[in-house]
Amino acid sequence: MIKYYKHAEDQIKERKVSKKEVEMTIKNPVEVVNGRRNRKIAHKVFNGKLLRVVYEEEEDEIIVVSAYRAEPKRYLGREKWR
């Protein structure tokens, strides 16, 4: 089950990121890297932009902390975003 912190819901709305994109990124990422405080960051490219989804895993649920778009070359090797 995927849940969202209120702050994350506000951010994705403001940044024009859909929940569908967030959930696709978590379920089928290009890669997942370790973040701060035992958080994970899932990466997936949509229309040439990298979506980074920061989340926490707790038992049988995932809680989205943040999501934002970035330049793929900043976080991914060329072979993962081309």
- Outline where 15-63 has alpha helix (H): 19-27
Number of domains in the chain: 1
Find the domain containing 68 and state its range. 2-75
Residue 46 lies in a domain: yes
| 32-55 confidence digits (pLDDT tens) | 999 999 999 999 999 989 999 999
Q: In this structure, is residue 80 part of a structural domain?
A: no
Q: What is the pLDDT of residue 53?
A: 98
Q: Is residue 32 part of a domain?
A: yes
Contact 15, 4 (CB under 8 A): no
Residue type, 2: I
**Any domain includes 58:** yes
Dihedral, CA of residue 49, residue 54, residue 59 and residue 60, to nearest 10: -30
Query: Would you place residue 74 in the very low, low, confident or very high pLDDT band (cuts 50, 70, 90)?
Result: confident
In a domain, 81, yes or no: no
CATH code assigned at 49: 3.30.2310
In a domain, 18, yes or no: yes
